Amino acid sequence: AQSVAQPEDQVNVAEGNPLTVKCTYSVSGNPYLFWYVQYPNRGLQFLLKYITGDNLVKGSYGFEAEFNKSQTSFHLKKPSALVSDSALYFCAVRDINTDKLIFGTGTRLQVFP
């Protein structure tokens, strides 16, 4: 069965510092990996995806993610955090048979001024 794990419930970082939100995956075959963000009282918004190609994927709002096949990880990164980045972040893997997204439990990112 396919799954993703987000080992941290919360990540705290100071504004201006780099941030990393961790995600590991377990799939059979090639992974289709995604990051979504949820701001308070809003639906999820697509940030970026990895299908194939370069291991470093660039997405919206200055975020990027690094795909690492040997470590089965897809960590979300940003070089310089903003207070407005504070939100709930979800990693997901796509089941290609049903088109279902299988989500992790989410990581709350708190950026302090």
Partner 1 sequence: EAQVTQNPRYLITVTGKKLTVTCSQNMNHEYMSWYRQDPGLGLRQIYYSMNVEVTDKGDVPEGYKVSRKEKRNFPLILESPSPNQTSLYFCATGQEGGYTFGSGTRLTVV
Q: What residues make contact with partner 1 under the rule CB under 8 A?
A: 32, 34, 36, 41-46, 49, 90, 92, 94, 98-101, 103-106
Taking the complex as a whole, the smallest distance from the CB of residue 18 to partner 1 amounts, in Å, to 25
**What whole-number distance in Å separates Cα of residue 103 and Cα of residue 113?**
29
DSSP character for 95? E
Nearest in space to 33 (alpha carbons), one of 63, 77, 73, 87: 73
Taking the complex as a whole, the smallest distance from the CB of residue 55 to partner 1 amounts, in Å, to 18
The nearer residue to partner 1, 44 or 82, going by C-beta atoms, is 44
Taking the complex as a whole, the smallest distance from the CB of residue 74 to partner 1 amounts, in Å, to 13
The nearer residue to partner 1, 36 or 78, going by C-beta atoms, is 36
- DSSP calls for 59-94: -GGG-EEEEETTTTEEEEEESS--GGG-EEEEEEEE
The nearer residue to partner 1, 10 or 80, going by C-beta atoms, is 10
